[in-house]
Structure 1
Amino acid sequence: MIFLCNTEEERRLVTTVGGTAIFSNHNLMVSEDTFRPLPDVPIEFDAVYNARISHTKRHHLAFDIERLAHITFSIGELPRVGNRAFIRRLQAQSLLHHIANPIVNGLTGWLPPQEINRIYNQAAVGLCLSAAEGAMRSSMEYLMAGLPVVSTPSLGGRDVFFDPDYCIIAEPDPAAIRRAVETLRDRAIPRDEIRNRTLAKVRAQRQELTVFLSDLLKRMGSSQPPLSQWPFPEIGLLRRWAAVRRHANEITALGRRPNGF
């Protein structure tokens, strides 16, 4: 088993206990074809926050922002009554705050990726407000769409592709978040500049992973030529959700095969 780690520190921790790991941040999988600047979409919000319904996402840190768009959804962390209360709190915050998802029976509905990208383009800044999680896919979606980012200090690897020219790490305080948003909003950095500088970093790491996978195939005895381009343009081709027990059973079965795969 080879662990793909979101940060160098995660890689170090895995290798320290004898695991095999490489540094390969999962935000490499975000599609730049889906998330991109839309020049014909006017900016209506100071910021957008794409975050599931969870206390860990610390939505309250954004409540001082004057014009804010929320993209939010539930993955079952709270019961339905808790989800409805959470949504009512967001709705009551300000007439200038907006939940972009459709709301049915007090619960937020699904938004297709293309619509999420359009909402990103209606905002001046993207928000990342949790203290600890994984690489936070929406952080890369913001950058691909050309949005600067305001983040709190965090663990998990979302800052791997950040740049101080268009990303501010602000204290987890509503007033500090508002000031950082206003600072980046007023800089009006061209969206193509943010996107292109991010893509340069992403493509370099994608190339490193492609070389690693080519070498791995060769060590496994494959006769196919080295991979010549990024092989996973859509995240769904690489990431698959399943119960831990199912993954464990599949890994055990792989281990029984002659070549390990």
Structure 2
Amino acid sequence: MPDRDPERIRLNPLHRFLVLNDTSFYVARWNGRMDGLETIGRNDHLFVFFRWLCTREVCAGIDSLLSAHRNVVREQVTFLANSGEEKRVIDEHLEGCSCCHVNVNCFVDQELFTILDESKRYEAVMNAGPWRYKRHGLSSGISDIARIFGHWDYRSESRTSAIEKCIADNGLRYRYANLDHTLWDKDELVRILNRSRVGLILSDVEGACAASSEYLLCGLPVVSTTSRGGRDDWYTTNNSIICHASVDGVDAAVRQALRRLETGAFRPSAIRRSHVVRAEAFRERFTNCVQERIDRLRISFDAGSHLRRVRFDPRRADGLSRFDVEYFV
């Protein structure tokens, strides 16, 4: 798990996104814990996604938790895997539960993250919190870069000190950094991405990594190290370069990506389109998964229409907001 203060990690309550008669449909995230399982009834369905790589050890922890909550029917629990490898692990180690390969980045807002008519100002951009697992030091050879430091704690003192330490410890250079922002504005984020040419993601392991898909939706090719957790589920030779995890390796890959943009081998519109198409396929797979469970209830209800209406995004199950709930009697 990342090097964060555990006392500052938000709780992960269940969120109900649909109620049909006496059956509720919940979504939750697993981030080392999952609160609220005692509220689930025997008729209810639970969908769980991951913010971090799911391993055999993670499955063992989840298995123990489910065993301690006998009110939860395993056959009515479905895990959303961010990669085919994650699905294999879950299928093998979480007996009785279902798993669907639905990379959670398919729910990144593709209307917000889009290609804008902005002049390019930066060769590269790196949107990453000031944490060790992000491996900022691998980008220290790049000076023409915009650095966006996300942070789970937006109290200025804590946030500023963490960012300053990250910059100093890794010898980071930059042409732009959001050091003076106490809360990042998403519209401004999209503008910065559109003013950049290449997006950097350099962690070895995490989850699906929303920043990676945000780059792609804004038409930026991605330079990434080899990774585990699901972000490479979106990568092809037409939208990314996988580089050696070294300062020279990252620098060389950025140069290569810039050349491919110049020659047309990387085309921003095609990069965005490939992500949109794959995201639609993942969302359809999830919708079909929900619809199958509704059909078992012998109720006529269109899952797709409902999920679109509430703008379903399982990543919202983090204490920040709640879904509308549709009641069918």
> Which category describes the TM-score, using the shorter chain as reference length?
0.7 to 0.9
Q: Could you say which residue in structure 2 is the equivalent of 1:5?
A: 81
CA contact (8 A) 1:29 1:232 kept: no
Post-superposition Cα deviations, 1:96-155, rounded to whole Å, max 9, x if no partner, equal 4321x252xxxx522111111100011110011000000000100000000000000010
User: 1: distance between equivalents of 2:310 and 2:165?
Assistant: 35
Q: Could you say which residue in structure 2 is the equivalent of 1:59?
A: 136
Alignment pair present for 1:34 and 2:107: no
CA contact (8 A) 1:91 1:98 kept: no
User: Alignment partner for residue 227 of structure 2, among 127, 139, 154?
Assistant: 154
1:238–1:83 Cα change, 3 Å: closer
How many residues in Structure 1 have an aligned counterpart in Structure 2? 235
Poorly superposed stretches of 4+, deviation over 4 Å: 232-238
SS at match of 1:132: coil
Q: Could you say which residue in structure 1 is the equivalent of 2:40?
A: none
User: 1: distance between equivalents of 2:271 and 2:88?
Assistant: 30
CA contact (8 A) 1:30 1:234 kept: no
Counterpart of 2:92, as a letter, is T
Post-superposition Cα deviations, 1:53-97, rounded to whole Å, max 9, x if no partner, equal 101000111111130111112225xx9385154255289633x43
1:14–1:55 Cα change, 3 Å: same
1:5–1:43 Cα change, 3 Å: same
Alignment pair present for 1:143 and 2:216: yes
Moved more, 182-191 or 2-11: 182-191
Alignment pair present for 1:83 and 2:162: yes
Q: Could you say which residue in structure 1 is the equivalent of 2:245?
A: 172
User: 2: distance between equivalents of 1:174 and 1:233?
Assistant: 44
Post-superposition Cα deviations, 1:149-191, rounded to whole Å, max 9, x if no partner, equal 0000010000101111220110110111011111111222331
Q: Could you say which residue in structure 1 is the equivalent of 2:297?
A: 220
Q: Could you say which residue in structure 2 is the equivalent of 1:245?
A: none
SS at match of 2:316: coil
User: 2: distance between equivalents of 1:167 and 1:70?
Assistant: 19
SS at match of 1:198: helix
Q: Which runs of 5+ in 2 are unaligned?
A: 1-76, 320-329
User: 1: distance between equivalents of 2:303 and 2:190?
Assistant: 34
Instruction: Give the drift of 1:230.
Output: 6.0
1:169–1:90 Cα change, 3 Å: same
User: Alignment partner for residue 280 of structure 2, among 193, 196, 203?
Assistant: 203
Moved more, 214-223 or 195-204: 214-223
TM, length-normalised to structure 2 = 0.65
Alignment pair present for 1:163 and 2:236: yes
Alignment pair present for 1:20 and 2:98: yes
User: 1: distance between equivalents of 2:128 and 2:146?
Assistant: 11
CA RMSD of aligned residues (A): 2.6
Q: Could you say which residue in structure 1 is the equivalent of 2:254?
A: 181
Is the strand fraction higher in 1 or 2? 2
Q: Which runs of 5+ in 1 are unaligned?
A: 243-261
Counterpart of 1:5, as a letter, is A
SS at match of 1:124: strand
SS at match of 1:205: helix
Q: Could you say which residue in structure 2 is the equivalent of 1:110?
A: 183
Counterpart of 1:208, as a letter, is R
CA contact (8 A) 2:140 2:171 kept: no
Instruction: Give the drift of 1:48.
Output: 0.5
Identity over the aligned pairs, expressed in percent?
Answer: 28
